[in-house]
Amino acid sequence: MFALNADEQAIVDVVETFVDKEVRPAVRELEHADAYPDALIEQMKDMGVFGLLVPTEYGGVDTSMACFAAVTEQLARGWMSLAGAMGGHSVIAYILREFGTRDQKERFLPRMATGELRAAMALTEPGGGSDLQSMRTTAKRAGDSYVINGSKMWITNARRAGLMALLCKTDPSASPRHTGISLLLVEAAHGYTVSRDLSKLGYRGVESCEVVFEDVEVPAEAALGGAEGEGFAQMMRGLEVGRIQVAARALGVAAAALGDALRYAQERHAFGVPIWRHQSVGNYLADMAIKLRAARLLTFDAATRVDEGRRSDLEAGMAKLFASEAAMQIALDALRIHGGNGYSTEFEVERYFRDAPLMILGEGTNEIQRNVIARQLVERNRLPGDQTA
C-alpha cells in the first residue's frame, strides 16, 4: 500500500546514504557543541530536500507526501534537528502551493525549492501554547499595509529564515474568533526582531527563537492568497502536513534507537550469553519493533490519504500522537538495554531520549491532540439529526 515509485525510492535511497555516510559520523560532535550544521544543510540543498513539496513548475521536486515522510524519517534517523530544519519550511511550501496567489508562488517558491530562501512558521506565543485562537499578535490595516505587533516563541530557523508565515489577528473582535485570523507572509527585510535563542533539552544545532514584531509594516498583499480572515483554516490544512512530518521525525528517532539497541543487545554479553537472550531484554526489543511498525503504518496511511486528495486531519493527528509516544518509549527502552552506557554521552541513545519529547509537544501537544481526535471522530460519525457543534 505504501510502496514508492522507482524515482521516489531513489530519492529516499540517496538521503539514506547521506545519513549513513555524512550525518551519523558527524552528529555527536555537532550536537554536543550545539553547532549549526552548515555543511550538512548545504548538502541537503544540493539533494533538493528543501524543494520536496514545491511543484516542478517552480523548480521543485514535487514528491508525494509518502516520499516526503520517508525522507523525513531518514533525516531524523541521522539527526532529528536536520528533519526539523526542513519541516516548517516544507509546510510553508505546501500552503503556498495550495493557497498562494500566482504572484506569491512566483516570488517565493523557486527560491524555496533550492533552499536559497528558507521559511519558518510563527504560530506559538508566550503563554499561548496550543491554543492558537487566543493569540495576541495583531496586524492592523493601515491603508495598503498591515502594521504588526506581538511576539512568537519556539520559531525554528528564525535567524536563517528569509520568510516567516505569521498567524495573527487582523480582526480581534471577529466572532467566531477564527474568522478574524490571517496568515501573513512576512519577509526578514520587513524588520522583525529575533530577540533571543531558547536553550533546549534536545533538538540542538538548529535554533529555536523568540521573535518580536514591533510596528512591523508589510504590504496588504502579504496576506496568503490575498484573503484576510482565512489564516486559521489555511494553517490547519498545513498542520495536517506538519503532523505527518512530526510523526515521520518520531519514526526516525525510534528507528535509530531500535537499531542501536539491537546492535548492542547482540554485542553485549552477560552471564555467558548475548543480553538479547535474556527474556527481559528480548521482550523490550520485540515491543519496540511492534510499536515502530505500527507507528510507521499509521504515518504512511495519513500520508497516502493526502496524496489521494482525501481529508487526513484525523489520520495525521493519530499518526503524530501514536508515533511520538512510541518514539519516547522506544528511546527509553533503548537506554535501558544499554544499561549504564545508555546514560553516557559516548553512546547515541541519550540523544534520542532528549530529542523524542519534542514530538510529543510539537504541532499541538498530545493532550490537545486527543481532544481534537475525539471531536473529529464524532464529526465523522455524527448521529442522524444531531445538530450540536
Q: What is the identity of the amino acid at 290?
A: I
Q: Say if CB 119 and CB 93 are below 8 A apart.
A: yes
- Rg over alpha carbons for the chain, rounded to the nearest Å, is 21
Query: Looking at residues 373-384, what average pLDDT do you find?
Result: 92
| Residue 384 binned pLDDT confidence (cut-offs 50, 70, 90) | confident
For residue 359, pLDDT over 80 is answered with yes
The CATH class of the 233-380 domain is mainly alpha
- The neighbour count for residue 130, using CB atoms within 10 Å, is 18
Task: Indicate if the pLDDT at residue 96 is higher than 90.
Answer: yes
| Integer Cα distance of 40 and 29 in angstroms | 13
Output the pTM of the full model. Answer: 0.95
In the block, cell 464529526 appears at: 379
pLDDT band at residue 388 under the 50/70/90 scheme: low
Task: Supply the residues annotated as catalytic.
Answer: 363
Q: Which of 249, 209, 307 is nearest to 5 (CA)?
A: 307
pLDDT score at 213: 97
pLDDT tens digit sequence for 170-195: 999 998 888 999 999 999 999 999 99
What is the chain's length? 389
Homologous superfamily of domain range 6-117? Acyl-CoA dehydrogenase/oxidase, N-terminal domain (1.10.540.10)
Is residue 389's pLDDT more than 70? no
Asked if pLDDT for residue 386 goes beyond 80, the answer is no
Find all residues with CB under 8 Å of 174, minimum gap 6, and list them: 180, 181, 229
Instruction: Provide the pairing of β-strand 208-219 with 193-197.
Output: antiparallel
3-state helix, strand, coil in the chain (%, to 5): 60, 15, 25
Domain extents in the chain: 6-117, 121-229, 233-380
Q: CB burial class (10 A; 0-12, 13-18, 19+) of residue 384?
A: exposed
**pLDDT band, very low/low/confident/very high, at 39 (cuts 50, 70, 90):** very high
pLDDT at 379 over 70: yes
**Per-residue pLDDT at 130 exceeds 70:** no
106 band by pLDDT with thresholds 50, 70 and 90 = very high
DSSP string, 347-384: STHHHHHHHHHHHHHTTS-HHHHHHHHHHHHHHHTPPT
Phi and psi at residue 346, to the nearest 5°: -75, -15
Picking from 50, 92, 91, 88, the residue whose alpha carbon sits closest to that of residue 71 is: 50
Q: Counting beta carbons within 10 angstroms of the beta carbon of residue 224, is it exposed (0 to 12), middle (13 to 18) or buried (19 or more)?
A: buried
Is the previous residue joined to 176 through a cis bond, with omega within 30 degrees of 0?
yes
* C-alpha cell of residue 174: 471577529
**Domain 121-229 in CATH: superfamily?**
Butyryl-CoA Dehydrogenase, subunit A, domain 2 (2.40.110.10)
What cell does 332 get?
527509553
